[in-house]
Structure 1
Amino acid sequence: MTLLRLLPAALLLFAAPAPLAARPALAVERVVVLMRHGVRAPIDGEAPAGTRTAAPWPRWPVPAEHLTPRGAQAMTLLGAEDRRVLVAAGLVPRTGCPAPRTLRIHANTAERTIASGIAFAAGVAPGCTIPVEHLAPDRADPLFEPLRAGATRFDPATAIADIQRHTGGIDALARRHAAAIAELDTLLGCGAPQGCSPITPSRILPSADGRGIDLSGPIRTTSGTAQVLLLQYAEGLDVPGWPRIDAAALRRVGTLHAALFDVFTRPPYMAAHQAAVLGRHMLAALTEADAAPVDILVGHDTNVTALAAVLHVPLHAPGYAEGDVAPGGAIWLERLYDPARKRRYVRASYRTQSPDDLRRLSPRVTVTPLPIPGCGVSGLCELATFDRMIRRRLAPAQ
């Protein structure tokens, strides 16, 4: 009886058709990258004047806002790792230099972005002359600074109302981060009963030129200080006389820096304007016939968070607070071709290095998939659908 029960199943097994031939792999046709610059020295005023610490701030090897030599090394290592991916995709030759106009790098006008682009180029195309395009220093590049460039019809009053809706109010935003503000005081170790950071009321107002908004208060004050601590750690600077600062503590207070983007880039109105020009540039790089196969933009954390907001994707990366941006962190948009279906798709991912990897100058890169809502569960979005969906979320350019 046992044999008879098994026989039909065995017959079905032998009668089953042969497995279908494996579907051809998706081919990567284009890669469009938006990355943040590498590790830099603090911006003047980033840790506000009057911020108290247990000992003097450490000395940096470069002027304020500049990419550090170690930051440049890390960007070159990152470029070498990205080169491996691009070579495997057939977008960069295994030997020799990329053909003209096949690898494009465009940076914002700041020293740190241009220097990051140059250092990255040394890794992604070693021994080659890859120009890093950028505007003159006295010009606002609308790709990276659309509000300052007047690239859209930005209305500060509408922006402020949308920010208040998105955050639940900037006072409430500060209250939600009270624990992180208290921990920041512990890390600074100044011992002052009233805290280590200057205290000002929360306010959000139109900027003096009407092209942006100005924020003051606890989030504005502490976000920059938290970022300076992260940069010090990534640079490998010692802070003798301070309390011990480790990567886990930096991740917790990093929520203060991430909160800044809840004001400047994540509210829908802000995202639509902040990503208006770079979003269209990236769509053109994915769709236009004569676009470069590899198009790399080197900008700032505000650019990366604005693009993520327009894509409706979160930014998670090992070692960082949710929503914060790693030095050298990048959103990759790949255009893929399915030869079986003769269709094109877009796939998004977030490539980062942890603070510990930056501190050790490790080449390790973490790749986090960014499934785009509205495109199904596969992580792939049909190119035409992606193009229509993202264009609707961008403010009109003028």
Structure 2
Amino acid sequence: MMRRLSSLAILFALGGCASQAQPDVLEKIVFLGRHGIRSPTLSPQEMQHRTGHTWQAWSVAPGEMTQHGAAALAALAAMLQAVQRNYSASALFQGSETCQTMEQETVVWADTADHRTRQTGDVWAKEIAPGCAIKAHWATTGVDPVFNALGSQAGQIDRGVLEQEFAAGHEDIVRTGLS
């Protein structure tokens, strides 16, 4: 834990030493989000079997995005449009009022894992610049390393390091009396 804090402190200190000859310029905005609001991934019957409680039926199939979920994503996209307007004086969005520029500069990348995540990408593409022909994209393979590094074998877990980090974190909790 202390190692991470000191690394951050070093980065902040180095950042303060950077040359101030040119003003900072916003180059990109990256937004990572999850799929829209979805129904439970199990049927009401399966949930009743597992819990003993009666569950209501949903308007969509198990695990699918609801109309409310799509509307919530559209509202979030509208909020990002407000952020875009706020930064329109920066080099990032100058001239981005035209659909042609938005279509060239905007990338919507969705996880290929299932229908609802691709549907989320479609909602973003439609709502981030209404009236423009922005399209969502996703990997053509079954597992996208952007969203699932372990499933695509692009990443690995070092069990020894994980256990050391967990033990160090547990010691910090015990030492501070938060347990």
Query: What is the TM-score with the length of structure 1 in the denominator?
Result: 0.32
* Aligned 8 A contact 1:76 1:119 in 2: yes
CA apart distance, 1:154: 2.9
> How does 1:52-63 map onto structure 2 within 5 Å?
52-53=52-53, 56-63=54-61
Q: Return closer, same or farther for 1:142/1:73 CA change in 2, 3 Å cut-off.
A: same
Residue from 34, 37, 56 that aligns with 1:36: 34
The alignment partner of 2:30 has SS state of: strand
Aligned to 1:115: 119
Q: Distance in 2 between matches of 1:47 and 1:145?
A: 27
CA apart distance, 1:51: 1.8
Q: Distance in 2 between matches of 1:135 and 1:48?
A: 36
The alignment partner of 1:121 has SS state of: helix
1:158 maps to 2:157: no
The alignment partner of 1:30 has SS state of: coil
* Aligned 8 A contact 1:87 1:94 in 2: no
Residue from 131, 138, 159 that aligns with 1:134: 138
The alignment partner of 2:31 has SS state of: strand
Q: Return closer, same or farther for 1:153/1:74 CA change in 2, 3 Å cut-off.
A: closer
CA apart distance, 1:40: 0.9
Aligned to 2:9: none
Aligned to 1:93: 96
Aligned to 1:125: 129
* Aligned 8 A contact 1:72 1:119 in 2: yes
Aligned to 1:145: 148
Q: Distance in 1 between matches of 2:137 and 2:130?
A: 18
> How does 1:127-276 map onto structure 2 within 5 Å?
127-136=131-140, 139-155=142-158, 157-158=159-160, 161-162=163-164, 164-165=166-167, 168=170
CA apart distance, 1:133: 1.0
* Aligned 8 A contact 2:109 2:136 in 1: yes
Give the number of the structure whose residues are more often strand, by fraction: 1
* Matched length: 144
Gaps of 5+ in 2: 1-21, 172-177
Aligned to 1:51: 51
Amino acid at match of 2:160: T
The alignment partner of 2:50 has SS state of: coil
Q: Distance in 2 between matches of 1:48 and 1:164?
A: 36
Rg larger for:
1
Residue from 64, 67, 73 that aligns with 1:66: 64
Q: CA RMSD in A?
A: 3.3
* Aligned 8 A contact 2:103 2:133 in 1: no
Q: Return closer, same or farther for 1:98/1:76 CA change in 2, 3 Å cut-off.
A: farther
Identity %: 27
* Aligned 8 A contact 1:67 1:112 in 2: yes
